[in-house]
């Protein structure tokens, strides 16, 4: 997260980082939806705050709101995409734990297609999450064939390489 910020800012983007806080393995694997909901709500609040700050700093709303998310963050963003409050320009998933049956067709108006799904060929963690956790998938290990999604393969990348 911190490595990409200078490159994005140098390219002229305004960057606002957010996080769902420390989300350890027991919490990640727990079948309790309220634990996931708290993370989603925190990131939603941070997005609203980032938009407010941008508006306060510049006097205008952001023209193109984009998001880059990794691992559990892709799950969080997939849930936020269902909230019609935000319209996204570009959505990028890295090492995604989103399920391959996620209903992108229901939310296609919430982002400019294609959603970019970055997959490391040595990333086994999404597959492990899909088999060990509740509600997770392995599109970050195996890719996703969907008209609204472009999967980009990164040869030799492991989960933390993103």
Q: CA dist 141 to 14, 60, 121, 122, Å?
A: 30, 39, 7, 8
The Cβ-side half-sphere exposure at 65, using a 13 Å CA radius, reads 19
The region of weakest confidence among 23-37, 62-76, 100-114 is: 23-37
Q: SS3 for 87?
A: coil
Domain coordinates of the chain in residue numbers? 4-58+65-161
Phi, psi of 101 (to 5 degrees): -100, 15
Phi, psi of 133 (to 5 degrees): -110, 175
**Alpha-carbon Rg for the chain in angstroms:** 15
Residue of 83, 84, 81, 52 whose CA lies nearest to 66:
81
pTM score of the predicted model:
0.93
- Res. 32 pLDDT band, cuts 50 70 90: confident
Is the pLDDT assigned to residue 111 strictly greater than 70?
yes
Mean pLDDT within 58-85: 95
């Amino acid at each position: 997260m911190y490595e990409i910020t200078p490159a994005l800012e140098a390219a002229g983007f305004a960057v606002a980082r957010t996080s769902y806080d420390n989300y350890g393995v027991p919490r990640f694997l727990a079948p309790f939806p309220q634990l996931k909901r708290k993370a989603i709500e925190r990131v939603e609040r941070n997005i609203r705050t980032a938009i407010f700050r941008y508006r306060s700093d510049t006097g205008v709303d952001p023209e193109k709101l984009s998001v880059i998310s990794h691992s559990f963050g892709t799950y969080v963003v997939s849930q936020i995409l269902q909230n019609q409050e935000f319209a996204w320009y570009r959505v990028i998933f890295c090492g995604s734990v989103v399920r391959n049956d996620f209903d992108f067709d229901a939310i296609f108006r919430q982002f400019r297609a294609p959603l970019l799904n970055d997959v490391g060929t040595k990333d086994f963690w999404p597959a492990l999450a899909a088999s060990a956790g509740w509600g997770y998938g392995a599109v970050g290990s195996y890719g996703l064939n969907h008209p609204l999604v472009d999967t980009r393969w990164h040869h030799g990348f492991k989960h933390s390489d993103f």
